[in-house]
Amino acid sequence: MKTNNMRRLLALLAALALFAAACGGSTSTDTADGGDSASESDSGDGDSGGDAMTEAAECAPGEVDGPLAIYNWTEYMDPELKDAFAAEFGVEVTEDNYDSNEAMQPIISAGGSGFDFIVPSDYMVSIMIDSGDLQPLNKDAIPNIGNLLPEFASGLPFDPDATYTAPYQWGTTGLGVDLDITGEDVPKTWGLLFDPAIAEQYNLEGAYATLLNDPRETMGAALKYLGYSLNTTDSAQLDEAKKLIQDAADRVAAYDSDQYDELLVTGDSTVAHGYSGNFIVQFDGAEGNYTYFVPDEGGTRWVDNMAIPKDAPHPCTAHTFINFLLDAERGAQLTNWNFYASPNAASEEFIDAEVLEDPIVYPTDTSKLEFIKDTGDFEINFSDAFIEAKG
């Protein structure tokens, strides 16, 4: 690891204390073919933290070299896809989950995690590349990578040459709102969280809101409301955002990145900060009147990515799984299941029309959206500010 990356890792390790559930007994584990979690069944196969691989694994298309251990966001993978992969290639598939990039990265960086396949978001890809946490992809083993839309095939700011990652899904971060409480004319603003006058005007009382338990997303929401970039490296702007969150403490019921959508539809909150697709799934069939939007001040557009840890025990199986998910019909199946937008051009003809035409899934105007970018040594300031803002 380069010296100038050490402070980034320290920031992430500090953030790990916020997300200990991702490391301990509350980490969810899902198994195809009855296997155990990666940490129990496969950690002995992995390297215990040696140097990052500098060359891509030598794998042929369709080659598997053992079971597949997935480390992914919660409720983000269609179980039928895992079962289909296990059946087609004759391997066991296990899945463990995390609720933030900051919870996942230190586990991978420490080495010996036993995971073969991970799904880091855009800015975290940059951090993990610089920290030597990822191995390059062998694109010859992923022929379906040619199915990607041109805008996702290369040129993304976090991995410009797509050396280490292939896009998984993309979406936005915004607000889910219970319109039965606020009324139909609710304004599309982060002020629903941060302005007490707006809250009062729209019948928002008590601890009615949830915010993501995520330093970059939640600090970013406050920064966008203030008119700043969510990638600011201005300490004064970050301090303003921190104070905004501190002042909203009485209105925040929970900092939650896992059940925020459920808390909204069960009436435990009225306004929820979260990810587009999760809200769509939760609203379907729920009693009541709900909406999701990205506030007019702007918000996050993110890309989650498929990657292979530096010491993955079974890199060829991981390459084959990436290729499997980039198949046209399987890519569509993923989007039809989780309601997040696909980066796969070949999948579009198989995506349900109601999904493809939904402006929440595929927003028509992205001009006010920003990717979260790695801010280098300034990253620690986001983590510190978030911890202080939560109190």
Arithmetic mean of pLDDT, 163-176 = 98
- Encode burial over 46-84: b for 16+ CB neighbours within 10 A, e otherwise: beeeeebbeebbebeeeebbbbbbbbbbbbbbbeebbeb
HEC sequence for 305-357: EEECECCCCCHHHHHHHHHHHCCHHHHHHHHHHHCCECCEHHHHHHCCHHHHC
Which pLDDT band, with edges at 50, 70 and 90, does 47 fall under? very low
Supply the mean pLDDT for the chain: 88
Quick one: pLDDT at residue 141?
Answer: 98
Structure tokens at 134: 């990822």
Nearest to 312 by CA among 64, 113, 159, 39: 113
82: tokens are 């895992």
Output the pLDDT for position 285: 84
pLDDT class for 55, splitting at 50, 70, 90? confident
Q: Which of residues 41 and 281 earns the better pLDDT score? A: 281
**Is the CB of residue 65 less than 8 Å from the CB of residue 315?**
yes
Question: Of 45, 42, 38, which is closest to residue 71 (Cα–Cα)?
Answer: 38
Residue 40 pLDDT > 70: no
Say whether pLDDT at 11 is over 90: no
Query: What's the maximum distance between 2 C-alpha atoms anywhere in the chain?
Result: 61
Segment 346-367 mean pLDDT: 95
Distance, in Å, from the CA atom of 328 to the CA atom of 336, rounded to the nearest integer, reads: 12
Structural domains in the chain plus CATH codes: 3-170+303-356 (3.40.190.10), 173-301+368-373 (3.40.190.10)
Give me the amino acid identity at 176: G
Banded pLDDT at 31 (limits 50, 70, 90): low
| pLDDT of 74 strictly over 70 | yes
Q: What pTM did the predictor assign?
A: 0.81
pLDDT(56) > 60:
yes
Q: How many whole angstroms separate alpha carbon 102 and alpha carbon 218?
A: 13
Name the β-bridge partners of 167.
305
Q: Which alpha helices (DSSP H) does the chain contain, by range?
A: 6-16, 38-41, 79-89, 101-109, 122-130, 150-153, 179-182, 191-194, 196-201, 215-225, 235-247, 260-265, 276-283, 315-325, 328-338, 353-356, 379-390
